[in-house]
Amino acid sequence: MSFYRNLSIRQKQVVWAWAFLAVPILFYSVIRFYPTLNAIILSFQSWNLLGPREWVGAENYIKLWHDPVFWKVFRNTFVYLILGTPISLVLSFVIAYQLDKTRLLHGTLRALYFLPFLTSTVAMAWVWRWFYQPVPIGLFNNFLASLGFAQVNFLNSTTNALPAILLPAIWAGLGFQIIIFMAGLRAIPTSYYEAARIDGVSGWTIMSEITLPLLKPTIVFLVVFSSIGFLRIFDQVFNMTTNNPGGPLDSTKPLVLMIYQTAFSSFDMGYAAAQTVVLFAILLVVSLAQLRILRDKP
Amino acid sequence: MATVTLHNLVKAYGKAEVLHGINLEVADGEFVVFVGPSGCGKSTTLRIIAGLEDVTSGEVQIGGRTVNHLEPKDRDIAMVFQNYAIYPHMSVRKNIGFGLRTSSLSKPEREQRIEEVAAILSMTEYLDRKPAQLSGGQRQRVAIGRAMVRDPAVFLFDEPLSNLDAQLRSQMRLEIKKLHQRVGTTIIFVTHDQVEAMTMADRIVIMKDGHIQQIGTPAEVFHQPANIFVAQFIGAPSMNLMPGRAVAGGLEVGGTMIARETGRTGAMTVGIRPDDLCVTQDKGCFSGRITLLEPLGSETLVYVDIDGQEVVAHADGRNPPALGAVVQLTVDPANLHLFGADGEAIT
């Protein structure tokens, strides 16, 4: 102990800092960094989970490049992202903006919007799957039929299935985004709005020149957070198209589902690892690009 | 430029009435300061004039026109907020120009107007900076500039100096006063600081619990306070209050008789400003033991125990008396303030 006692205050702080940091560093090394590196190495190998790992060079990536399913899946993943993020952000902002002004039943309404975020995705996906069934089971088609409209093929159509799956995915994330937007709106001092009222500028000017610019940090956070969410979409798709995951005809299959099937249906671990590396690269590039575009210019 | 008239102004939030019939006439070009402790209704009154709060009953007139139901933008006023309310993401130029968005001026005219205002406030070289790159005093000037640029009939200031440090506050106090002398616009200024009120105002409105206690020039409210509250609120350190009794031919206070005609007999409260109560070498009105000394440089504040009651007196700054010494205190009987049992001044 005399060694520790002889240290300066600064040195003691360093000792303690490293003592506390050691646990997460060890954890991340074993649970995160080692598997990540291993996956990158595996993407250059061929392995069926049981046999020996064989070095195949860039073969997995070449195969991926020439795989039409991959390009279809790649496109699907970006459709989830490009539709999902803006729609969910605009919706949640509009709801948060109105909810912020509402006094009546404020707490109840907020809880109702937040509820889907707390619900299990699997349970939710199955309930929506039931909504989408044809007559006489599905809620939506029963409703359409009772009004005399033709049935809509929600999950069995190559054009309708993806939007039909995206809808509950957006709905599920809405509660969280609304809460974050409301916190951002609350942080804007009321005197900014009062000053604008005295200046007599229009509601649109207040929105575009005061509210939205001051919400920028909130928007950046939600864009990145929500984009990562949509790029990694899996549960909704897997559960709602459970008879033929990613179907019909791969029209709803996202990258994560393709990775899952390659790894645990085809047991082509090297090929799956290559897809994982590509997904990782996409996530990294999209997140960095968004941060760079949306960050405050000095 | 315009007059402002408040007639029987009442404001209630639900059942809680916070303003109980405010009557006030502000002359054209006058600098009026609302002062009072927190929760006295001074900011609420200002916000009602601005149109940011509704009137429960009564009437607000600006320039002879009833504005009760007009939007803030239609009242020809500008307001400076306590937290400045300048937009952090806009440059000083855009902040100052924000109030001109709805004006009919052409773009070059607007630019010229912004430049003029910046020149008056010595902010020309900071026009392209963001508020984060400015000091507290400069931000304050941007806020004032934003109000000035619209050339309103009335300026409303809501405790604009309370976020500044003491030195900057006294500097900005001077600048606002100079600005008023220069532009001559009617100003209504809210503060809780009686020094600000005294130094800046043409007339002071002292408020408490939603009532006006007194309206008067700084000299009037200091020398002829209408009641005990005003007497204690205005002036630092506060006025000494001692129980007294008027008898035929004099006033009995602090164990001595003072020759002062009161016009009535009976118990009353006697107020003495610390400045009027001096330590003297001769025989004074009161004598007591010094319990505390506060040297201020030019003078020393002396806390003296007279007959079990502590009063504040003043002594020379160069040769202050010693702590614990028994001293004589003298006061000109004409400078005593007398208050009845209801707290109102006896004149």
Decide if B321 is inside a domain. Answer: yes
Residues B302 and B170 placed together within one structural domain of the fold: no
Residues B270 and B152 placed together within one structural domain of the fold: no
For residues B293 and B277, give the distance between their C-alpha atoms in angstroms, rounded to a whole number: 15
Percent of chain A with pLDDT over 90: 23
Residues B229 and B251 placed together within one structural domain of the fold: no
Report chain B's terminal Cα–Cα distance, integer Å: 37
Decide if B56 is inside a domain. Answer: yes
Kindly identify which residue of chain A lies nearest to residue B96, measuring between CA atoms.
Answer: A199
For residues B264 and B288, give the distance between their C-alpha atoms in angstroms, rounded to a whole number: 28
For residues B228 and B302, give the distance between their C-alpha atoms in angstroms, rounded to a whole number: 22
Residues B168 and B287 placed together within one structural domain of the fold: no
pLDDT at B211 (0 to 100): 93
Going by C-alpha positions, the residue among A113, A91, A223 that lies closest to residue A179 is: A113
Residues B247 and B228 placed together within one structural domain of the fold: no
Chain B: give the shortest CA distance to residue A187, in Å: 13
- The pLDDT tens digits for B117-160 are 888 888 888 889 998 888 888 888 888 888 888 888 899 999 88
pLDDT band, very low/low/confident/very high, at A296 (cuts 50, 70, 90)? low
Strand partners, B240: B272
For residues A256 and A233, give the distance between their C-alpha atoms in angstroms, rounded to a whole number: 7
Decide if B347 is inside a domain. Answer: no
| Domain at A65-294, CATH homologous superfamily | MetI-like (1.10.3720.10)
Report how many domains make up chain B.
2
Chain B 130-149, CB below 8 Å of chain A: which residues?
146
Residues B229 and B262 placed together within one structural domain of the fold: no
Set of chain A residues whose Cβ sits within 8 Å of the Cβ of B71: 197, 200
Chain B: give the shortest CA distance to residue A195, in Å: 7
Decide if B71 is inside a domain. Answer: yes
Please indicate if any CB of chain B lies within 8 Å of the CB of A214.
yes
Average pLDDT on A270-293 reads 88
Kindly identify which residue of chain A lies nearest to residue B83, measuring between CA atoms.
Answer: A191
Range of the domain at B324: 240-339
Set of chain B residues whose Cβ sits within 8 Å of the Cβ of A294: none
pLDDT at B293 (0 to 100): 93
Please indicate if any CB of chain B lies within 8 Å of the CB of A197.
yes
- The pLDDT tens digits for A2-12 are 788 888 899 99
Last residue of a domain, one of B176, B209, B233: B233
* B168 φ, ψ (degrees, to nearest 5): -65, -35
Residues B53 and B186 placed together within one structural domain of the fold: yes
Please indicate if any CB of chain B lies within 8 Å of the CB of A29.
no
Decide if B346 is inside a domain. Answer: no
Decide if B69 is inside a domain. Answer: yes
pLDDT at B157 (0 to 100): 92
pLDDT band, very low/low/confident/very high, at A181 (cuts 50, 70, 90)? very high
* B297 φ, ψ (degrees, to nearest 5): 95, -85
pLDDT at B1 (0 to 100): 65
- When CB atoms are compared, the residue of A189, A197, A205 closest to B101 is A205
Last residue of a domain, one of B174, B207, B233: B233
Kindly identify which residue of chain B lies nearest to residue A298, measuring between CA atoms.
Answer: B130
pLDDT at A298 (0 to 100): 44
Residues B217 and B246 placed together within one structural domain of the fold: no
Please indicate if any CB of chain B lies within 8 Å of the CB of A103.
no
Ranges of each domain in chain A: 2-42, 65-294
Last residue of a domain, one of B207, B233, B259: B233
Question: For residue A294, is pLDDT > 80?
Answer: no
What CATH number is attached to the domain comprising B251? 2.40.50.140
Chain A: give the shortest CA distance to residue B255, in Å: 55
Which of B13, B48, B49, B83 to probe the A interface (max A CBs under 10 A)?
B83
Average pLDDT on A69-94 reads 92
For residues B22 and A78, give the distance between their C-alpha atoms in angstroms, rounded to a whole number: 64
Confidence (pTM): 0.80
Average pLDDT on B249-270 reads 84
Decide if B229 is inside a domain. Answer: yes
CB contact under 8 A, A195 and B79: yes
CB contact under 8 A, A194 and B52: yes
Q: What is the mean pLDDT of chain A?
A: 87
pLDDT band, very low/low/confident/very high, at B257 (cuts 50, 70, 90)? confident
- The pLDDT tens digits for A215-239 are 988 998 899 889 989 988 888 889 8
Residues B134 and B274 placed together within one structural domain of the fold: no
Chain B 25-84, CB below 8 Å of chain A: which residues?
50-52, 71-74, 77-79, 81-83
Percent of chain B with pLDDT over 70: 100
Strand partners, B241: B271
Percent of chain A with pLDDT over 70: 99
Q: What is the mean pLDDT of chain B?
A: 89
Residues B229 and B247 placed together within one structural domain of the fold: no
pLDDT band, very low/low/confident/very high, at A89 (cuts 50, 70, 90)? very high
Question: For residue B225, is pLDDT > 60?
Answer: yes
Set of chain A residues whose Cβ sits within 8 Å of the Cβ of B101: 199-201, 205
Residues B213 and B322 placed together within one structural domain of the fold: no
What CATH number is attached to the domain comprising B138? 3.40.50.300
pLDDT at A202 (0 to 100): 85
- When CB atoms are compared, the residue of B52, B85, B89 closest to A189 is B85
For residues B199 and A18, give the distance between their C-alpha atoms in angstroms, rounded to a whole number: 58
pLDDT band, very low/low/confident/very high, at A297 (cuts 50, 70, 90)? low
- When CB atoms are compared, the residue of B82, B88, B102 closest to A199 is B102
Helix (H) / strand (E) element for A161: namely helix A161-186
Decide if B154 is inside a domain. Answer: yes
Residues B18 and B41 placed together within one structural domain of the fold: yes
- The pLDDT tens digits for B59-117 are 999 998 999 999 998 888 999 988 888 898 899 998 988 888 877 888 888 888 898 88
